Amino acid sequence: MEKRRLGRTGHMTSVLTFGGFALHRISQKEADATLEIALESGITNIDVAPGYGEAEKHIGSWFKRHGKKFFLGCKTAERGKEAAWESIKRSLDTLNVDHFDLFQMHGVSDIGTLDKAMGLCGALEAIVEAREQGLVRFIGITGHNPPVQNIALQRFDFDTVMFPLNRVHAAHFNEWNDWRPLLKTARQKDAGVFTIKSVAKQAWADQSLAFKKTNTWYEPFTDNEEIEKSLWYTLSQDVTSAPLTSEWKLWPMIIDAANRFKPLDKKQQDEYIAQAARYEPLVGPVMD
What is the mean predicted confidence (pLDDT) over 254-279?
98
Count other C-beta atoms under 10 Å from residue 38's C-beta: 25
Side-chain-side CA neighbours of residue 156 (13 Å): 22
Strands 16-19 and 242-243: parallel
192-205 pLDDT, tens digit per residue, is: 999 999 999 999 88
158-191 pLDDT, tens digit per residue, is: 999 999 999 999 999 998 899 999 999 999 999 9
Q: Which amino acid is at 281?
A: P
2-27 pLDDT, tens digit per residue, is: 999 999 999 999 999 999 999 998 99
Superfamily of domain covering 3-276: NADP-dependent oxidoreductase domain (3.20.20.100)
The pLDDT mean for the chain works out to 95
In the predicted structure, residue 286 carries a pLDDT above the cut 70: no
In the predicted structure, residue 212 carries a pLDDT above the cut 50: yes
Beta strand ranges found along 41-90 (DSSP E): 45-47, 71-76
For the chain, the structural domain boundaries read 3-276
Report the percentage of the chain scoring pLDDT > 90: 90
Strands 71-76 and 45-47: parallel
Query: What is residue 283's predicted lDDT score, i.e. its pLDDT?
Result: 76
110-137 pLDDT, tens digit per residue, is: 999 999 999 999 999 999 999 999 999 9
Query: What is residue 206's predicted lDDT score, i.e. its pLDDT?
Result: 81
* 255 SS3 class: helix
* 151 SS3 class: helix
Phi, psi of 139, rounded to the nearest 5 degrees: -120, 135
Confirm if 164 and 220 have CB atoms less than 8 A apart: no
What predicted TM-score, i.e. pTM, was given to this entire model?
0.95
Confirm if 83 and 116 have CB atoms less than 8 A apart: no
pLDDT band at residue 285 under the 50/70/90 scheme: very low
Count other C-beta atoms under 10 Å from residue 210's C-beta: 15
84-102 pLDDT, tens digit per residue, is: 999 999 999 999 999 999 9
CB within 8 A of 10, min separation 6: which ones? none
Query: What is residue 284's predicted lDDT score, i.e. its pLDDT?
Result: 61
In the predicted structure, residue 83 carries a pLDDT above the cut 60: yes
Listed as own residue / partner, the contacts of 78-84 with beta carbons closer than 8 Å and 24 or more positions apart are 78/123, 79/113, 79/116, 79/117, 79/122, 79/123, 80/116, 80/121, 80/122, 80/123, 81/121, 81/122, 81/123, 81/125, 81/126, 82/121, 82/126, 83/123, 84/122, 84/123, 84/125, 84/126, 84/127
